[in-house]
Amino acid sequence: MAQLPWTAPPEYGRKAEGSQLYEKIVQLKMKSSDGKRYLTDVANAEQLLRIIQSILSPKAQPFKIWLAAAGSERKKRESTQTIMAVFPAVKS
């Protein structure tokens, strides 16, 4: 089986940081559309965000900006919901 680029430490940039992240990515057998089970690389949300963050290509920059804006919007929404739960409207 060929070694995938994210399962091996990167040959560029953040070697120490990247290799720690890549060690956490595992392969699980998942069912595909043809009904067979294949080893598939899996990662949690935090690991995926770290991988995206480590991409040095300028082409990735618009996606990184969008992702930051989406995360900021979600955080605002969650804080508003928390405030509404803590201070419910008083009905008269």
Model pTM score = 0.48
Q: Mean pLDDT by 10-residue block, N- to C-terminus, for the chain (92 residues)?
A: 51 51 77 92 82 86 88 83 70 48
Task: State the amino acid at position 48 in one-letter form.
Answer: L
SS3 state of residue 89: coil
Which residues fall within 8 angstroms of residue 88, CB to CB, at 6 or more apart? Answer: none
Which residues fall within 8 angstroms of residue 26, CB to CB, at 6 or more apart? Answer: 41, 42
pLDDT computed for residue 76 by the predictor: 83
